[in-house]
């Protein structure tokens, strides 16, 4: 079945450091890929998405590129801030036709220290 | 636009007791999802509704879990009887559905502790 494998956490970085959180997936067909973020005390929020190979999703300085050849969707940010401290989830849906369940990775807890 | 509402936010029960969670999706959203998030794991879909019909309940432990979505709006998830391994955060999400916008919006979750 479909699955998502994420970089083990927790990850602790200093402010302004470069961030990479690795994500690889296993799925048949042409999945859509997502990064969700969960800030302390809040619900899951969509951070960015990509629906086809070579698409780049971006939001709030974060980026991720859909790489079909390596089945990856790594999350990157050039300069992290304390406010980026949260849990990040990589996820996929089986298609981009809508109404599909999300299959999530286990999450990576990120802590940014000033 | 109001978000997805869930209640209660926290619940502590003893094993073998019953519990119910309530979800009010974003107005106009046809699709509603219930996910279970066990500590240290990603959310896992329990059941998906399209309006008031069930689309996918393949991961729902039907011997103890039940869910309904009356009139295609609010939804209730029930556990009876609860087991220790049901301790988790129960997340409700909704989406407009179709190809216009299928982004899922999540509620704050209900944290269940079974002792």
SS3 B72: helix
For A72, which DSSP code?
A: B
Nearest-by-Cβ selection for A105 from B31, B42, B55: B42
pLDDT tens track for A15-24 = 999 999 999 9
Enumerate the residues of chain A whose CB falls inside 8 A of the CB of residue B41: 106-107
Tokens of B100: 């216009």
Choice among A32-46, A92-106, B56-70, B82-96 with the minimum mean pLDDT: A92-106
User: Nearest-5° angle of CA A51, CA A54, CA A59?
Assistant: 65
Confidence of residue A60 (pLDDT cuts 50, 70, 90): very high
Enumerate the residues of chain A whose CB falls inside 8 A of the CB of residue B97: 98-99
Q: What is the pLDDT of residue A105?
A: 96
Please, which residues 50-79 of chain A have a Cβ atom closer than 8 Å to chain B?
Answer: none
What is the least distance, in Å, from the CA of A2 to any CA of chain B? 12
Question: In chain B, pLDDT over 70 holds for what percent of residues?
Answer: 95
Tokens of A54: 């070579």
Whether residue B108 and residue A42 make contact (CB cut-off 8 A), yes or no, is yes
CB pairs under 8 A between A and B: 57
What is the least distance, in Å, from the CA of A5 to any CA of chain B? 10
A92 touches chain B (CB under 8 A): no
With 0-12 / 13-18 / 19 or more C-beta atoms within 10 angstroms meaning exposed / middle / buried, residue A75 is buried
HSE at residue A51, side-chain half, CA atoms within 13 A, is 9
Task: Give the Cα separation of A3 and A96 in Å (integer).
Answer: 17
User: Nearest-5° angle of CA B78, CA B75, CA B15?
Assistant: 15
Task: Give the Cα separation of A65 and A31 in Å (integer).
Answer: 13
Q: What is the pLDDT of residue A97?
A: 60
Report the mean per-residue pLDDT for chain A. Answer: 92
User: Nearest-5° angle of CA B48, CA B49, CA B51?
Assistant: 160
pLDDT tens track for B36-55 = 999 989 999 999 998 889 99
Torsion of CA B58, B64, B69, B74, to 10 degrees: -120
Whether residue B104 and residue A46 make contact (CB cut-off 8 A), yes or no, is yes
What is the least distance, in Å, from the CA of A98 to any CA of chain B? 5
Nearest-by-Cβ selection for B41 from A43, A45, A106: A106
Nearest-by-Cβ selection for B102 from A4, A42, A99: A99
Whether residue B40 and residue A102 make contact (CB cut-off 8 A), yes or no, is no
Nearest-by-Cβ selection for A106 from B3, B40, B95: B40
SS3 A17: coil
A41: left (phi over 0), alpha (psi -120 to 50) or beta: left
Sign of the Cα pseudo-torsion (A48, B38, A43, B45, in order): positive
Q: What is the pLDDT of residue B59?
A: 93
Task: Give the Cα separation of A42 and A20 in Å (integer).
Answer: 23
Choice among A46-55, B86-95, B98-107 with the minimum mean pLDDT: B98-107
Q: What is the pLDDT of residue A28?
A: 83
Report the mean per-residue pLDDT for chain B. Answer: 92
Instruction: Please compute the mean of the pLDDT values over residues A7-14 and round it to a whole number.
Output: 91
């Amino acid at each position: 079945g479909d699955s998502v494998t994420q970089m083990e956490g927790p990850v602790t970085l200093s402010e302004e450091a470069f961030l990479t959180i690795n994500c690889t997936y296993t799925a048949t067909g042409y999945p859509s890929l997502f990064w969700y973020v969960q800030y302390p005390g809040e619900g899951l929020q969509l951070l960015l998405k990509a629906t086809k190979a070579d698409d780049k999703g971006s939001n709030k300085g974060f980026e991720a590129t859909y790489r079909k050849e390596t089945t990856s969707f790594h999350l990157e940010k050039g300069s992290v801030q304390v406010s980026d401290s949260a849990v990040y989830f990589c996820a996929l849906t089986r298609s981009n036709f809508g109404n599909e369940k999300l299959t999530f990775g286990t999450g990576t807890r990120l802590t940014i220290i000033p | 636009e109001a978000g997805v509402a869930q209640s209660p936010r926290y619940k502590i029960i003893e094993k073998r007791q019953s519990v119910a969670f309530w979800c009010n999706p974003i107005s106009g959203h046809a699709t509603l999802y219930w996910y279970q998030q066990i500590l240290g794991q990603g959310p896992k879909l329990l059941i998906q509704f399209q309006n008031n019909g069930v689309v996918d309940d393949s991961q729902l432990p039907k011997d103890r879990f039940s869910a309904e979505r009356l009139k295609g709006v609010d939804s209730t998830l029930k556990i009876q009887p609860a087991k220790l391994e049901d301790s988790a955060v129960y997340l409700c999400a909704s989406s407009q559905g179709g190809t216009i916008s299928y982004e899922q919006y999540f509620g704050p979750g209900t944290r269940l502790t079974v002792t």
